[in-house]
Structure 1
Amino acid sequence: MRIDAVHATPGYAGFFFDDQRAIKRGARQDGFTYDGEPVTDGFDEIRQAGETLIVDVELEDGSVHRGDCAAVQYSGAGGRDPLFRAEAYAPVVEGPVAEELVGRDASDFLAIAELLEELQIEGTRLHTAIRYGVSQALLAAAAHDSGTTQTDVLADELETEPATGPVPVFGQSGDARYGNAEKMFIKGVPVLPHGLINSVEKIGPDGEVLLEYVEWLVERSEELGPEGYDPRFHIDVYGMIGEIFGPPYDRDEVVDYFEALEEAAAPYPIQIEGPMDVGDRADQIAAMVELREGLEGADVGVDVVADEWCNTFKDVREFVDAGAADVVQVKTPDLGGIHRSGQAVRYCEGTDTRAYLGGTCNETETSARACAHVALATDAAQVLAKPGMGFDEGYMIVENEMRRTIARREREQRLANADEVTADD
């Protein structure tokens, strides 16, 4: 079915853009905002409203299919594309992008999505947020055209066997790391709580605050979790472990600290995201390889998760090839087209690295649902509950999208099996 039109409407995302460099340099929190001047290009304030560009792809039958352009909370940091301003990019989507799409067959999802990856405007590739949002709309249009689910479209294009049950959801607490964690325990969330440990105050000068928090997680999980609950703790420290045990980063001290974290989390597994941020991709990979070797040598069973400097599909490949992480975050808006996230998850197959299909609190319900289909199509190790930092809404959106898709696929399979039996009779 032919694409007839492409429309773009500026809107709001599910959270905020934050100047990570300014926060790491000690910007003081003032209520929900921060005092001080931004230091990352494009920011007017250290914290400002998240934006999205709503993309509508209209097909010749009059149906309209939506995707939302979104960028991560910490835009412009760690090698990512600059701050995304929806008003500035709307003419790009309705102009050069629409010119490339109109008249194409909606069923050619992968070919069109790859075209967008290579498209350049005045010598510059499209912002990752544009590739992300437009590809979501194209995926929805392809599913409509084929009369199937987005999961099935992706599975066919990526040559995968979809998951038969919901992929484990990773809950994100934001700064409400106690109250939101308790909500997660009550709902039996499999991976939690993220924690947002992005300052010395939150981790402690010697890491003591985080250790106490992990001990609390164990205690409350056993008090509030459902029968048989076996959570996996996942803490994002935004490089702060490297900060307090350095600079320069001291591997031996970090290994000792990880051993303490493992003991605090027992009997549950724990994984630490972004243990250090050394300033560029090559050095980050080297530091994480060195840390994993140190952990293995000391028989410390804490998994390391790659985030900073692991943004593009190429970055994911390099982290995986180097064995730099037990888990690699596929940060969906940073990879551009949504199919790229699926390809990145697939790249982890057959390696020692598990794929965490992540993203950001600063997305929308539309992009979150699209990512749920990527998770199912590729059977990722875990998928982020998003958008927002309230937890409940994002968990509902992602978990329910997976459940309704699985239920639909099971119904369709039962009908197909019944038709085969009838035909045989």
Structure 2
Amino acid sequence: MQTITTTEDLARFCEAAKAEAYVTVDTEFLRERTYWSKLCLIQLALPGKSGEAVLVDPIAGGDRLSLEPLYDLFRHEGTVKVFHAARQDLEIFWVEGKVFPVPLFDTQVAAMVCGFGEQVGYETLVRKIARENLDKTSRFTDWSRRPLTDAQKTYAIADVTHLRVIYEFLSKEIRKTGRTTWVEEELGTLLNPATYETDPATAWEKVKTRTTSGRFLGIVRELARFRESYAQAKNIPRSRVYKDDALLELASTKPATLEDLGRSRLLLREARRGDIADGILAAVKAGQECPQADLPKVPENREQLQVNGALADLLRVLLKAKAEETGVAPKLIATASELDAIAAGERAGPAMTGWRAEVFGDDALRLCRGEVALSAIGGAVRVLSI
């Protein structure tokens, strides 16, 4: 197999790909020690069992390799770009090149709407569709080290060669079942820049806490804002600044001096001095001085909703019936918390829009209004109009 390390060789491959109906794509990266993923390898393959398959090595290529020919291919709408579980790959290309591959096909998304279950893995699809087995021994190797071993190269290239068979099978199934719009709706989230951009100002919303005090949440907000900004600027994992448990401890103890920080049980040693310590003290101060009107509003907790238990149970039966009827994993259609929200009177949410409304949401609303009933006929559940 060819390993591309120059812009010229990459451009030659990408020009050939533009003449094809599709190209399969995958990446290998590291993220354990950085905030942003470190791109280590790109795999590409053209259609056909003997179609050209290459490895693109940005580490070995260094200054001799620009990814602009690849980005140009991504913008070329005449060739479908095929990924499996594309989210992290797309984040890399969006952060580094501000580009999305269009048109996009994600075989994990397609497999879910074709009845292969929720978040089905690549290895499963290779076994069930391509009738092959994968050697996963190189999966957790250090992809940043050079030279790559033959085993690593073989493992990496398999992620795009088998993908050709999977794509051709799933794309045919999608067309046959008329679920193209279902897949397109799911891909809309993947192709939205907001999916990959974390605003430090809203980072606090991902911190789990049972405390509802606006003042406490105000300090949490400022501590999360500083942590996210610092991690992004230094390109380190946010947990290397301080973890969530330490953040919540700081919001509770409200340290005002370095001496106060030194008494923390959960704060990393490196965070008790220097820029991080200064940032923590400033964040706590900002949270304490925040005007009452500007404090975070406590989001409505679904556990506090007045859930009609009997209706929630009926919705679960309806969901199971619809999932079996369509061959789609129940959790892809609606989650347990979404069912409880519907049973509590909420009428918005993913289950009520797009293809999910067609499959489940519309009948769920009719059930809530008493316009339909559920009946067991043999081993199946049917929806009957009243």
TM-score exceeds 0.5 = no
Q: TM-score, normalised by structure 2?
A: 0.26
Task: Compare CA radii of gyration and give the structure with the larger one.
Answer: 2
Kindly indicate which of the two structures has a greater share of residues assigned to helix: 2
Kindly indicate which of the two structures has a greater share of residues assigned to strand: 1
Q: TM-score, normalised by structure 1?
A: 0.24
